[in-house]
């Protein structure tokens, strides 16, 4: 069994080597023969070999070679340098165009964000000063753009409401229980740290806590008038 396996592997390798050799022979044998014939001043195979090598008709090949070499290749060198310069210019222009596009997109995004902030001015979400949450609401509003109707399917305020409500519920779950009603003494008690002295995380917790208190207070008020 092991011997049969080695023999099959050997046969496959031989077949593969033959295919490679046949391909190389078919590709380069005419060129090798033309080289020998040329040294023997037999030029009959040279033209067909060049056609095989370059894939163009012989008169065109001969004309191109003659035009490139008739003046010591100075013209050909100049053309090559010009082509390289044109390629570099095209690459530079392409990069500049891409940079302009990127800058335009960034400017439009900043203008859109400024418009969103203006639309939700005074909203509780904006008061949190939490860039991540505000950015989430902004993306929700921006992604609601309907190109057919040419308008946003949800308003900026609605997007802010949705994000604010989602994270308020999440904060409530993290606390493990519903917050107790806030007494007047608690409301009026001075803060242990001024809002302006809080870091971003403390401000976020403060505003989420206040939002929960306001929501619970509103529910109690509606229940009293039900």
- The CA R_g of the chain, rounded to the nearest whole Å, is 39
Give the confidence band of 151 by pLDDT, cuts at 50, 70, 90.
confident
Pick the range with the lowest mean pLDDT from 66-80, 99-113, 175-189.
Answer: 175-189
Q: Which residue has the higher pLDDT, 182 or 114?
A: 114
Sign of CA dihedral 193, 196, 202, 206: positive
This model's pTM is above 0.75 = no
pLDDT, mean of residues 147-170:
84
**Of 3 and 60, which is predicted with more confidence?**
60
Q: Which class for 215: exposed (0-12), middle (13-18), buried (19 or more C-beta within 10 A)?
A: middle
Q: Is the pLDDT of residue 136 over 60?
A: yes
- Give the per-residue pLDDT at 1: 64
Evaluate whether 156 touches 120 at the Cβ level (below 8 Å). Answer: yes
Average pLDDT (177-200) is: 51
- Residue 182 confidence (pLDDT): 41
At 192, the pLDDT band (50, 70, 90 cuts) reads low
């Amino acid at each position: 069994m092991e011997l049969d396996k080695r023999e099959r592997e050997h046969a496959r390798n031989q077949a593969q080597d033959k295919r490679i050799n046949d391909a190389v022979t078919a590709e380069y044998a005419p060129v090798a023969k033309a080289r020998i014939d040329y040294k023997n001043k037999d030029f009959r195979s040279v033209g067909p070999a060049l056609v095989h090598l370059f894939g163009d008709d012989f008169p065109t090949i001969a004309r191109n070679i003659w035009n490139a070499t008739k003046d010591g290749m100075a013209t050909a060198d100049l053309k090559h340098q010009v082509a390289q310069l044109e390629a570099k210019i095209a690459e530079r222009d392409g990069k500049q165009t891409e940079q302009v596009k990127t800058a335009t997109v960034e400017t439009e995004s900043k203008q859109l964000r400024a418009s969103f902030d203006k639309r939700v001015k005074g909203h509780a979400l904006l008061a949190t000063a939490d860039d991540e949450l505000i950015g989430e609401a902004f993306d929700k509003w921006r992604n609601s753009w309907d190109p057919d109707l040419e308008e946003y399917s949800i308003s900026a305020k609605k997007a802010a409401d949705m994000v604010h409500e989602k994270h308020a519920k999440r904060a409530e779950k993290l606390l493990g229980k519903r917050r107790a009603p806030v007494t007047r003494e608690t409301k009026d008690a001075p803060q242990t740290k001024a809002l302006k002295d809080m870091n971003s995380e403390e401000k976020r917790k403060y505003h989420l806590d206040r939002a929960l208190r306001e929501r619970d207070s509103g529910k109690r008020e509606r229940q009293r008038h039900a």
